Chain A
């Protein structure tokens, strides 16, 4: 655990430590983003935003906020959620400074393939959008991203017991919604 903690803290200041972290967690962040957005350019921006936010937050990482993967999922969730809020108010997000400018045709195609592959989980993500914030956060990490309940609880700073209660409640509430076809994904 201590080794993990110092490795995570180092990513804010040590490029080599950051590279190791990036290579280890990139596959998870690719999936995470593809399960939430269907625009490949936005996916590229968000991938960059998640790692930038991790670099900023690394100095204050503590093991009780979950293993590094769970901690990063917590960060990714906040980054994507704030992007969704932002989009609601700005119809045209012209993000020329975003990471999308680094995209070439091949990389774009690979992101599109991932987005296509995550179609079902993306509709689950949309289906749980109407849950109260705290329930949604938990269900997202467990049902959409496949985190262990204990890790998801740590990432959100709640007790595992509390998490199980909330999960049960949230699952019951979305059951009906998930079975309905999502018109946006058709």
Chain B
């Protein structure tokens, strides 16, 4: 059957075809597992080595479901992380040199990231520039959220497949005073921000 498609419907078709094409490797991985092979769920596709250092500054892994998981061990080799993410289709501006300034709603700068009692890690979601009483949808539809966690291994940033397909640019930076070692990721024009403080604080 031929249906006349307008510009929108043609663009949507192209995008949905990509979604379908991207699902194919997933199926192959499942077949391998069923065949009795110990297929790993994630293949390491990018590892950053700090200049003169011996341990990687970051790792970028693509999961079987299309999500991309980034582990940041140290704030080093921002350019390398940008490239490794670009290889996975993620547009990201990584800049550890300029910490993101966090402000409270009444305009004071936020120097300390509040960590709830009984928790060693902090995960804070901030919505900036949103009128009072309104809330912003920081999700990617059913595709979930960008999440940032602090672990003993470093920061773990999960970028959902839906965000990658939507080509949502991410901004990855430090936040607050530099020596606090706080990592922040923001998107949707810096309106959705997630901040994680180090787990050993």
CB-contact partner of B6 in A11, A24, A49, A106, under 8 A: A106
- Residues of chain B contacted by A24 (CB below 8 angstroms): 1, 3
The yes or no answer to A18 lying at the interface (CB within 8 A) is yes
Query: Chain A interface residue count: which class?
Result: 35 or more
CB-contact partner of A48 in B1, B6, B12, B24, under 8 A: B12
The yes or no answer to A14 lying at the interface (CB within 8 A) is yes
The yes or no answer to B13 lying at the interface (CB within 8 A) is yes
Expressed in whole angstroms, the minimum distance between the Cβ of B162 and any Cβ of chain A is 7
Give the one of A97, A99, A107 with max B CB within 10 A: A97
- State the CA gap A44–B8 with chains docked (Å): 8
B8 near A93: Cβ-Cβ < 8 Å: no
The yes or no answer to B134 lying at the interface (CB within 8 A) is yes
CB-contact partner of B140 in A27, A90, A97, A111, under 8 A: A97
CB-contact partner of A13 in B20, B134, B166, under 8 A: B20
22 pairs, A vs B, C-beta closer than 8 Å = A11-B20, A13-B27, A14-B20, A15-B18, A23-B1, A24-B1, A26-B5, A27-B3, A47-B12, A48-B15, A92-B134, A92-B135, A95-B141, A97-B141, A97-B163, A97-B168, A102-B8, A102-B11, A104-B8, A107-B7, A107-B9, A110-B6
Given A107-B9, A111-B8, 13 more A-B residue pairs with CB atoms under 8 Å apart are A15-B21, A18-B17, A22-B13, A22-B16, A48-B12, A49-B141, A55-B20, A91-B134, A97-B140, A97-B166, A99-B15, A107-B7, A107-B8
Which residues of A are at the interface with B, using a C-beta cutoff of 8 A?
A: 11-15, 18-20, 22-24, 26-27, 44, 47-49, 51-52, 55, 90-99, 101-104, 106-108, 110-111
